[in-house]
Structure 1
Amino acid sequence: MAYEFAKVERKGPVTIVTLNRPDVMNAMHSPAHFELHRVFDEFAADPDQWIAIVTGAGDRAFCAGNDLKWQAAGGKRGWDASGFAGLTERFDCDKPIIAAVNGVAMGGGFEVALACDLIIAAENAVFALPEPRVGLAALAGGLQRLPRLIGTKRAMGMILTGRHVKAREGHELGFVNEVVPQGEALAAAERWAQAILQNSPMSIRASKQAVTKGLAVSLQQAMTEQRSYPAVTAMAASEDYIEGPKAFSEKRPPQWKGR
C-alpha cells in the first residue's frame, strides 16, 4: 500500500517506517497520525513481520513533534486510538519497536521515541519536551514515560525547563540505548534488530509483554500472573518452544517460526 506521509519498507521480518514530511522536519498533523495508525496496525497484524524500526526522512529531524503551523492555520487536530503517530497509546503491540533517531526529536517526536522499546540516536540527535514554551503540555506520553525511565527529579528538570538534551546526555540519563555517528542511526537500529532476530520471536513478545504488564502492578502480582499473560501462554504453546531446546541439544542454530 502506498502512503503519503510515511515510507514503509520490509526487509525480511523487519518493517522500516520512515516519517516522511521532511519539509516540516517530519512534524505530525492529523492526516499523518491517522495514516501511521494504519501502518502500525498492518505491522502488528502481519505474522511475517517481527520487528519495526521508526526513523525520519532527511538528515535534520526524526520528528519535530506537533505541526504547530498546521494547527495555527486552523488545521483539524486529533489522532486515532493508537495516539501520536500511531504509537504513543499503542499498548497492545508485543513486537519490538526501535526508534532510529537521526536528528531533532522534539515534543511529540520525543514522545514517539519514548513509546518505542529501544532508542538508537545519532550524535546530532536532540531531545526535548518544549510544550510549555508554546502553552501546551506533553500529554502524548512524555509526562508519564520519561519519569518512569530516568526518575522523577531528572525528568522534571527536563519537563519544567523544556531544555534540549543531546544524544550523549540522553545516553547518560538512560533513555538512549546507543549513540552512533551522524548518519548511522538507521544502520545501527538494523544491527540491533538483527541481534533480536537471533532469539525466538515468541519469546521476545512474551518478554516484552511480561515487562510492560509487570511494571503496571506490584512485583508479587507480576510474578504470580505472568504465566497467564497471553503472549507467555502463546510462547509455551508454540513450535518455537519445542525448537529452541531441540536445536540446543543438537548443537545447531534454531529455525524460528514465530508461531
Structure 2
Amino acid sequence: MYMPSEHVEVKLTDNVGTLILNRPDHGNALSRRMVRQLIEAIEDLYREKRVRAIILIGAGDTFCAGNDLEEISDACSLQPDWDSSQERWGEDAADFRELIARMLETPKPIIAAVNGAALSHGAGLVLACDIVVGCAESTFGLPDPRRGIVAGVVAPLLCHRLSAGHAARLLLTSSIIDAIEAARLGIFHELVDGDKVWARAVELGRECAEGAPEAVQLTKRILNETVGEQLDTQLTAGAILQATSFTTEAAQEGIAAFLEERKPEWK
C-alpha cells in the first residue's frame, strides 16, 4: 500500500479509499511534491483490489486553493536564465497534466468531496473526478488570468465537462462561483450539509461498489475513451501554454501581487 506522506493522507473505509490533501495551513495548495505524491497514491489505490472507489477531499475547510504560488515565486527568483525557467515550468505542467490524465484513466470511480474552495488546479481536480459532492461552503473558479497565468491543463477539461460557452465565461472572467451556481452548471452533482460531504461521498463509493468491478471499470473506460484521444491532445497542448505563461512578466507581477495582497499592475 501507499507509504504515507506529510501532505497526502490515505485512509481506507471498507472498500472505499480516501485521499486527503493535507496542507490546511496553505489552503491545500498543490506543491510539486504533492502532485507527484497524488499520482503515486492514485496508482496504489488502483492496484489495491479491495478498494472499489476513491474519494478526494481537503483537510480543514478548503478543498484545494490551487497550485502553490509561494513555491512558484521562490522558484522564479532562482531561475538563472530563460532556458532554465522553461524547463522548470514545463516539468510542472507535465506533472499536473499527468495527474489529471491518471485520474481520468484510472478505471475506479473517483469522487470529489468538495468541502470548501476549489480554485485553479483545485478546480481541475474536481473536474477530473467522476462524481462531485459539494456543500454551501464550496466555491469553484479559475482565477488564473488575474494572476497573469493560464489554466492550460484545466481549460480543455472544463470545456469537456461543460458547454464551450459556460467554460469561456468562467475562464475569461476569472469568476469564482458558489455551490448553487456550480450545481446549476453541472460541476457539482449533489449538495449536502458541510459536515456530511465526506460521508455522502463514502455512500456513493459504496453504491459504485455494488456493481461488478469489471462492469464499473469498463463503464468508466467508455465514458472517458469516447473522447479520450481528443482530450488527451488538448491536455498536452494546454500544458505547453500553461508552462509558457509562467515565464512571462505578467506571471511574475500577478503572482507577486497575489502574495502581497494587492492589485496587479499590468503593462
**By the TM > 0.5 criterion, same fold?**
yes
The residue type paired with residue 136 of structure 1 is I
Tell me the equivalent position of 1:143: 155
Structure 1: which amino acid aligns with 2:71? W
CA contact (8 A) 1:34 1:80 kept: no
Q: Do residues 25 (structure 1) and 27 (structure 2) align?
A: yes
The gaps in structure 1 that reach 5 residues or longer are 219-259
Query: Is 2:210 aligned against 1:198?
Result: yes
- The residue type paired with residue 161 of structure 2 is L
Q: Residue 178 of structure 1: CA displacement?
A: 0.2
**Structure exhibiting the larger radius of gyration computed from Cα positions:** 1
Map of 1:16-55 to 2, 5 A cutoff? 16-55=18-57
Structure 1, residues 53-90: CA drift from partner, whole Å, max 9, x if none?
A: 0000002x100011101111227664596636x63121
- Give secondary structure in 2 for the equivalent of 1:28: coil
Measured in 1, the distance between the counterparts of 2:212 and 2:155 equals: 33
CA RMSD of aligned residues (A): 1.9
What is the number of equivalent residue pairs in this alignment? 215
Larger RCO (alpha carbons 8 Å, 6+ apart): 2
Residue type of the partner of 2:190?
A: E
Q: Distance in 1 between matches of 2:130 and 2:92?
A: 21
Q: How big is each residue's C-alpha offset from its partner over 1:28-56, in whole Å with a ceiling of 9 and x where there is no partner?
A: 11111111121111112222211100000
With 2-11 and 18-27 compared, the bigger mean Cα shift is at 2-11
Q: Give the letter for the 1:69 counterpart.
A: E
Is 1:122 the equivalent of 2:124? no
Q: Which residue of 2 aligns with 1:227?
A: none
Q: In structure 2, how many angstroms separate the alpha carbons of the residues matched to 1:111 and 1:193?
A: 21
Q: CA 1:217–1:7 in structure 2 vs 1: closer, same or farther (change >3 Å)?
A: closer
Q: How does 1:65-80 map to 2 (within 5 A)?
A: 65-74=66-75, 78-79=91-92
TM-score of the superposition, structure 2-length normalised?
Answer: 0.76
Distance in 2 of aligned mates of 1:72 and 1:217? 34
**Worse overlay, 207-216 or 116-125:** 207-216
1:160-198: CA deviation from partner (whole Å, max 9, x where unpaired): 000011111111111111011122211111111121121
* Counterpart position of 2:6: 4
| Partner Cα distance (2:159, 2:94) in 1 | 23
**Cα distance in structure 2, aligned partners of 1:36 and 1:217:** 23
Q: Which of the residues 99, 102, 105 maps onto 1:92? A: 105
Residues 150 and 174 in structure 1, CA contact (< 8 A), matched pair in contact too: yes
1:212 aligns with 2:224: yes
Q: In structure 2, the residue corresponding to 1:114 is in which secondary structure? A: helix
Q: Secondary structure at 2:106's aligned position in 1?
A: coil
**Deviation at residue 92 of structure 1 after TM alignment:** 2.8
| 1:134-157 deviations in Å (ceiling 9; x for gaps) | 1111122x2112122220111111
Deviation of 1:215 (Å): 3.0
TM-score, normalisation: structure 1: 0.78
Structure 1 counterpart SS, 2:220 = helix
Sequence identity (%): 29
* Secondary structure of 1:53 counterpart: strand
Give the structure 1 partner of residue 245 of structure 2. none
Report matched runs for 1:113-192 at 5 Å.
113-140=126-153, 142-192=154-204
C-alpha distance in 1 between matches for 2:180 and 2:193: 11
Structure with greater helix percent: 2
Residues 82 and 195 from structure 1, CA distance in 2 versus in 1: closer, same or farther, beyond 3 angstroms?
farther
Unmatched 5+ stretches in structure 2: 77-87, 231-267
1:27 aligns to what SS in structure 2? Answer: coil
Q: Return the alpha-carbon distance in structure 1 between the equivalents of residues 209 and 68 of structure 2.
A: 35
